[in-house]
Structures are given as C-alpha cells and as structure tokens.
Amino acid sequence: MTETPANQLIGRLFYQRSQRVRVMLAQLPFFVTVSLAALMIGILYPELLSNSQLVVSLWLNGFLMLACLVVPWDKLHPASFLVIPYMDFFVVALFREGIQTLLSSAGMLALFPIFWICASGVAPKTAVVTSTLASLLIIWNPVFQSGQVSADAMIRPILFPFMMLAFAITVVVLTTSMEGQRNSLLDKDKLLRAALAESQHRELLLETVVDTVGIGVVVVDADGNDRLMNSAQVAIHTLGRPLDIADPEEKELLLFTPDRVSLAPEARPVRRAINGESFTNYQIWIGTGEQARALSTTARIMRHDDGKSEGAVIAFHDVTDMVNALSAKDDFVANVSHEFRTPLTAIQSYLELALETPDLHPPEVGQYLKIADRNAERLGGLVGDLLATSSITVERTPTNMNRIVADSIASATPGAAANSVAVDWQCEEPLLAMVDGVRISQVLDNLISNAVKYSPDGGTLTVRAWADGTDLRCRVSDTGLGMSSSEQAGVFQKFFRAGTAVERGIPGIGLGLMISKTIIDTHGGSLIMESQLGVGTTMSFVIPACVMDSSSAPQEFSPTGA
C-alpha cells in the first residue's frame, strides 16, 4: 500500500511535530467550536452569559487550551495528554447545562473528546468504556441537578450514549486499522530506504571499481545509448573526436582498421555489440597522427531470461605499446638478418673460391682470407653490439684524440663518397685525453657512420673536437634527414630505428647510439642530440676533467691508448 498525498500531508503536519504541538492541534477544533458557540449565544442571548455554569465551562475551555500550549508534554508520560479530552467532557456538560437547551445539539460537542481519546491508540477498550460513561454523565447531569431522579428520566435520553458508544467503537476500529497501515508503511519505508542505501552503495562501489581499472569500459542499452562510461573510456573517446565536432556520437569517432583504413559503420565495436555480436580481441585504431592508439576490444551481450538483448558491455584495452613492440621485433629480426647476411655471404664466397680454385697462388689465397677475416670481425662486432649492456667498462689511458678522429673519418670516407657527402673535420693538435681510446673510437665511428648513412641525398659532415679547459668536447653534425621530436625521445633506446631510416631501407639494428651513450656515461660525460626533421642532426658529447697537458704526456703511446 502506498501513502496518498493527504496521508503524506497529515504526516508532515501532525505526526512529525512535537508532542506539545500535537496536543495543541488536537484540542484546537474543540476550543474553536465552543468559542464560536459562545460567541453566537452572546449575540443572540446575552443574558445567558451570567449563567455560572456557562461561564465556568468557557473559562475551563480557555484554561485547557492554555495548558496545551504551556505544559511540557514532551517531558511527561506519553499518555498524560489524555487529561485534556477527559476534562473536555466537563466543559461539554457545563456548557450544555449553562445554555439551558437553547442549542439542542450542544451534547454533540462530546464527539471531539471521544474522537481524541479513541484515536489516541492508548488503551482502546478503556477509551470506549470511559467515553460511554462520560456521555451518560453529560445527559444525566441535569437529572441529578433537578433532584427528580426516576427510571423514566434516566432512560429517556439513553439513545445519546449508545450513539457515542457506536461512534467510539467505530473510531477505535478505524484508528487501529489506520495505525496498522501506517506502521506497515513505515516498515516498508525503512526497508525501501535501506534498499536504496544499499543500491547507492553498490552503484558507488561499481563506479569506483570500473574507474580503477586501466581498461576503457562502456555499457550501452539495446538502442546503443550510453548507460555507463568509466574515466579511462572517456579519455579514449576523446582521442577519436574529430576537430570540428565538440561532442561526437559513437558513429562519428575516428576509428580505423589495423591497416589504418577508415572503419565501416557496421564494423565498429559498439555497433557490432548492439547487433548482438560477442567478440574478443577485435583490434582497431582510434585517432590520427601521433595521438593514434591501438585498441583491443571485447564485447559481451546482456540478455533477459527470454533471450532478448538488454544491451552490451564493451571493453577497450590500449595495446599500442604491444603493437609497437611487435613491429619493432619484426624490424629488428629483419635488420639483424640483413646485417648478418652480407658478411656471411662474403665469407662463404671467398672461402669457397679459395677451396674450389686449386691453382691459386699463396698471395691470392691470403687476400681472400683477409677479406673473410675482415667480414668475420664485422660479424663479431655485430654480436658484440647485441650483447652490449650498461655493464660496459672503460680503461683510461693517455689517448691522441687527433689520431682517433682521423681514423674514424678515414673509415667513413668511402661511404661519404658513395652518398656525395662532403667531409669537414678539425681537431686540436695535439689533443691528449685520459680516456679509453678503443671505446671513444667506437663512439666516433658510430656517430660519424650514422651521419653518413642518414645523409643519403648528400650534404655536409662536420666533425669538431677540442679542449674546453680540462673538458673534452666533440661535435658531429650533418645536413641529412633529421628526426621529429617524437623520434628523438626514443633515440637512445635499444633497437630504436627512425621512421625515415626504415622507409628508405637504411641498414642498422638500432644499437649504436645506445652503446655510445653508455660509453660516454661510463666516462662520466654526457651525450646529447639536437635534430630537426629535414634539416639535419648534431650529436655532441663532453667528458669532464680528462684533457692532459701535452708536456706531461708520456713520450710514446699508442694512438688508441692501447
């Protein structure tokens, strides 16, 4: 059963008030009715106002109303307020006698205290009995005052008490029923409030859990309308927003296939889910340019017991790093295979030539074996690069940096000529440094060979080495392809290859710069890059407190310090 607006209004105006206010509101109708009746009598029969019983009834009526307002009923016994309606019976009796039957219905004023007593819910059986007895006293009061007590006089007005008895019983029955309904509604209200609080708690828990996971989650109804979207999905949703649409719908998001082809409407994950498809690891791309992300999507359909779709839950997992890693792995395998194949082919060819040509002279055999040996060393260098880690150690010895720079330039000259790269180098003479000559030579070889390789369309290679106090500084610049800012962020990572290098098929396995930085870091120095796409790249390193005074250097030392 639900509460009607009237019941809700009564609840707000009466039951939710303090005990004092409820007592006042219950007495107010009786007080007003008696007061209006007295006013009418005073206008029509002013002489009756001198009647002592009428005057006492009016004063008693006012006194009872004042008591309702003054007495702290909240601090007294819960049933103490019943003294007011019982006193109202005396007011009715005196008022009825004081007006000398001018108002034949004056006795009906007893309905007010009877209703109050019987509707209070306090001892309902006693309330019926006392109300009936009070009614009898009201009608028998004139008989007792006249002194003419007889059976006929006592029985003649007996219908009035019977009417009051029936009214009292009716009020008790209705009040008991209504109180039971009210208590039932209160119990149901408590249960509903508890259920609502539990539902809100579960909703908060669900939202917290969904927002905690790093996977985008969206729940849609059967028509595709969003019912729930966590914060991760909001961020993913933003990536696919077209520039000209502030709040795009799902069908307007920039979604693409793994081959970066615009996704057809029916192939979109949400649309597939709305159409009743459940799928796992369905890969798409969202967004364009450097902000594009690869997503693995999974969908499950929510169904009623009758099998009808109620909507779907779609999860979006960002797998960009994994996709890039797999792509890097494929590139790495291809590059390593290519780098190993060339020297292996040369070794096999010259060894087969030496073995299958019996009339070769020893000088020719030696030449073939030297070529094979040089390629074997190249393979060894590649393997060494693959195994190189941050555990690289250095052994500092006095080193002639001029000789190291010259040797690196000489090694790169054939490649520079092939790419039409002009070489301009300069190194202070003498420039003596306490460094690991072999390792620094490896760094310069990597930087200079990279500058040549990444200048396939020609340009200028500039190498400078000088002393800055006791610090050794070196700079290698080219006017080649250059790199974007995003590519520069990963340039010192293992197996990194620039996109332009991959597109142009420039050989390499992406270890040179990582190894070079490790060597410079181990010397206590720093290696930095400055590059601009389409303009060129400058690699610079500085090794502090290593430059030696030429007068203090040993008389003889190896060019590489070995």
Domain boundaries, the chain: 5-188, 216-318, 324-387, 397-552
Q: How many CB atoms lie within 10 A of CB 61?
A: 26
Percent residues over pLDDT 70 in the chain: 76
Is the CA virtual torsion 12, 16, 20, 25 positive or negative?
positive
- 324-387 maps to which CATH number? 1.10.287.130
| C-alpha gyration radius of the chain | 52
Asked if the domains at 216-318 and 397-552 fall in one CATH topology, the answer is no
pLDDT at 45: 83
Question: Helices (H) and strands (E) in the chain — how many of each?
Answer: 17, 13
Q: Which residues contact 159 (CB under 8 A, 6 or more apart)?
A: none
Give me the DSSP letters along 360-411: --HHHHHHHHHHHHHHHHHHHHHHHHHH--TT-----EEEEHHHHHHHHHHH
- Of 342, 350, 393, the C-alpha closest to 371 is 350
Alpha carbon distance 229, 311 (integer Å): 14
Residue among 301, 300, 265, 259 nearest 283 (CA): 259
- pLDDT tens by residue, 336-353: 665 566 566 666 666 776
Q: How confident is the model at residue 375 (pLDDT cuts 50, 70, 90)?
A: low
| Averaged pLDDT, 27-31 | 90
The amino acid sitting at 25 is L
Q: From CA 69, how far away is CA 71, in angstroms rounded?
A: 6
Alpha helices by DSSP H, 80-158: 83-98, 111-119, 124-146, 151-155
- CATH number assigned to the domain covering 216-318: 3.30.450.20
Which has the closest alpha carbon to 268: 289, 292, 244, 297? 297
Give DSSP secondary structure letters for 117-132.
HHHT-SSHHHHHHHHH
In whole angstroms, give the CA distance from residue 372 to residue 379. 11
91 alpha-carbon distance from chain centroid = 70
Q: Tens digit of pLDDT for each residue in 269-283?
A: 988 988 888 999 899
Question: Strand order in 526-532's β-sheet?
Answer: 421-427, 459-468, 471-478, 536-543, 526-532
List pLDDT tens digits, range 129-168.
888 788 777 777 766 666 666 666 566 666 777 777 777 7
pLDDT for 460-494, tens place per residue?
999 999 999 999 999 999 999 888 887 777 787 76
526-532 CB contacts, 8 Å cutoff, 24+ apart = 527/443, 527/492, 529/483, 529/488, 529/491, 531/482, 531/483, 531/488, 532/482
Name the residue type at position 250: E
- Choose among 344, 75, 351, 316: nearest CA to 214: 316
**Spatial distance between the Cα atoms of 195 and 3, rounded to a whole number of angstroms:** 18
Label residue 408 by pLDDT band (50, 70, 90).
Answer: confident
**Residue 319 corresponds to which tokens in the numbers above?**
């797998």
Torsion of Cα atoms, 547 then 549 then 554 then 555, to 10°: 130
Give the DSSP letter of residue 287: S
Burial grade of 309 (CB within 10 A; 0-12, 13-18, 19 or more) = middle
Peptide bond into 430 cis (omega under 30): yes
Q: How many residues in the chain?
A: 562
CA distances from residue 542 to 402, 433, 517 in whole angstroms, order as listed = 16, 12, 11
What SS3 class is residue 199?
Answer: helix
Query: In this model, does residue 241 exceed pLDDT 70?
Result: yes
Q: What is the CATH number of domain 397-552?
A: 3.30.565.10
* Per-residue pLDDT tens digits for 302-328: 888 787 888 899 999 988 888 877 776
Percent of the chain with pLDDT over 90: 20
Q: Which residues contact 403 (CB under 8 A, 6 or more apart)?
A: 559, 560
pLDDT (0 to 100) of residue 558: 40
Q: What per-residue confidence (pLDDT) applies to 70?
A: 92
Mean pLDDT of the chain: 80
Q: Does the pLDDT value for residue 90 go beyond 70? A: yes
Amino acid found at 317: H
CA distance 37 to 39: 5
Mean pLDDT, residues 86-98: 86
The residues, any chain, with a CB within 8 Å of residue 338's CB and separated by 6 or more, are 507
